[in-house]
């Protein structure tokens, strides 16, 4: 058992678990895990990791933190290429599949089970990734739409070495605004003030729908949030899975890519709470 900053971790077989109660998203992804890699957006791992290694520019043997790692497709491919990888996710079922896949591939990855808005790790990394809405923008029932994503950014920032780079892909609010209607606002499916969409989605075809909340972001909002977290945004590009590139954001595409660099210190917990909307 390991205690870090007042938190209790359990470490076993290179897997570290931060013990927390189950959230809506944890239940969703636990149930979704068996079919996760059937999603269309999971089919471009090799090309995506090619892009990441070029953009992060970390020497072989360097350390990378993968937040919202899911079944570990990026973590495992990065480990294959000689990086020391830690994959963090709140879903024990996703992590179990990631651990099995890593063993089958003959690579070692440290897996950590935690909520991305609450984790603390003792290590400092040469780079970080947070992709495909694996964590950033996924709100719980009572999560603040500013405080929660800012907490995730601050937690990641604290884990980075000075000048380390991070790559995120997040939901594109420009597309959400163009897609949603006044009726969606009136019926509570879209909040134009917070850019949060509320919907019901089944984790698998045979299961009941789960009520979920997802926050999208506009580019200038991302620049400000990253700055508060001690990171400077270097580039904002189109980041939709399967169409990554160093190109402008398309107004109708699903995701934005953010490339940032650790240049300062993030807000503490009191500072984050002072910016919350609640």
Which has more confidence, 9 or 110? 110
Percent of the chain with pLDDT over 70: 92
pLDDT in tens, 79-98: 999 999 999 999 999 999 99
Whether 144 is in a domain gets the answer: yes
The parent domain of residue 8 ranges over 2-36+43-273
Q: Supply the CATH number for residue 27's domain.
A: 3.40.50.150
Predicted local confidence at residue 12, as pLDDT: 32
pTM for the structure as a whole: 0.90
Whether 259 is in a domain gets the answer: yes
**How many domains would you assign to the chain?**
1
- Reported as a pLDDT band with limits 50, 70 and 90, residue 21 is low
* Token duo for residue 29: 């992804």
Whether 130 is in a domain gets the answer: yes
Predicted local confidence at residue 271, as pLDDT: 82
Which has more confidence, 35 or 19? 35
Region of poorest pLDDT, from 58-62, 159-163, 239-243, 256-260: 239-243
Predicted local confidence at residue 96, as pLDDT: 97
Whether 278 is in a domain gets the answer: no
């Amino acid at each position: 058992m390991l205690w870090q900053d007042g938190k209790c971790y359990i470490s076993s077989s290179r897997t570290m678990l931060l013990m927390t109660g189950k959230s809506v998203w944890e239940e969703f992804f636990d149930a979704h895990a068996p079919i996760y890699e059937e999603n269309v957006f999971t089919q471009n791992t090799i090309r995506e990791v090619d892009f990441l290694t070029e953009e992060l520019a970390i020497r072989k043997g360097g350390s990378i933190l993968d937040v919202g790692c899911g079944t570990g497709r990026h973590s495992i491919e990065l480990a294959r290429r000689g990086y020391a990888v830690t994959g963090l996710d709140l879903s024990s079922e996703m992590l179990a599949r990631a651990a099995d896949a890593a063993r089958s591939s003959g690579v070692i990855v440290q897996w950590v089970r935690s909520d991305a808005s609450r984790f603390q790790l003792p290590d400092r990394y040469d780079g970080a990734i947070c992709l495909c809405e694996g964590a950033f923008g996924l709100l719980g029932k009572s999560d603040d739409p500013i405080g929660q994503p800012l907490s995730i950014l601050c937690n990641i920032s604290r884990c980075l070495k000075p000048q380390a780079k991070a790559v995120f892909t997040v939901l594109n609010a420009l597309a959400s605004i163009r897609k949603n209607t006044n009726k969606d606002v009136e019926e509570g499916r879209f909040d134009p003030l917070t850019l949060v969409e509320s919907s019901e989605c089944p984790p698998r075809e045979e299961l009941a729908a789960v009520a979920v909340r997802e926050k999208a972001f506009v580019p200038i909002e991302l620049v400000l949030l990253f700055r508060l977290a001690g990171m400077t945004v270097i580039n904002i590009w189109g980041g939709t899975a399967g169409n990554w590139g160093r190109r402008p954001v398309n107004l109708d595409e699903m995701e934005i890519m953010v490339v940032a660099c650790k240049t300062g210190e993030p807000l503490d917990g009191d500072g984050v709470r002072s910016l919350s909307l609640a």
